[in-house]
Structure 1
Amino acid sequence: MSDDEKTADAASDDMKRKFREALEKKNSRSRQGEAHLDGDSSVHGTHGAVTKREFRRKSG
């Protein structure tokens, strides 16, 4: 390996490390809140048109 390849690998590893740290920091922030998985939604079904939509070609 030449010196150029070694410095390119070191720069690449340093960049990967920085991105990994930033991602871990971002993910740790989003995990602090509650999941609210036990909450019940106020929407329990659909409303409006119950029939299947019918598509017709224009005549004329």
Structure 2
Amino acid sequence: MSTEEGASSSEDMKRKFKEALEKKNAHHRQGEAHLDGDSAVHAANAPQTRREFRRKSG
């Protein structure tokens, strides 16, 4: 195998991988981003207090 054949197969392999990556990325971009959506949760239910740990007695 000459260096030209090795280079062309390398270029062909790079092209195939790039096409596959573009296809994969295009698949992920099809859905909606939901960036304009608002979450229903805005704050915790209870006020945040420092937790107290005690040893078990008995």
Report the TM-score when normalising by structure 2: 0.66
| Identity of matched residues, % | 56
SS at match of 1:9: helix
1:56 corresponds in structure 2 to none
Distance 1:48 1:5, change over 3 A: farther
1:11 corresponds in structure 2 to 9
Alignment of 1:1-60 (within 5 A): 4-45=2-43, 50=48
Distance 1:12 1:48, change over 3 A: farther
* Structure 2: gaps (5+ residues): 51-58
How far apart are residue 13 of structure 1 and its match? Answer: 0.1
Distance 1:9 1:47, change over 3 A: farther
* Structure 1: gaps (5+ residues): 53-60
What count of residue pairs does the alignment treat as equivalent? 52
Report the TM-score when normalising by structure 1: 0.64
Alpha-carbon distance in 1 for matches of 2:45, 2:16:
49
SS at match of 1:29: helix
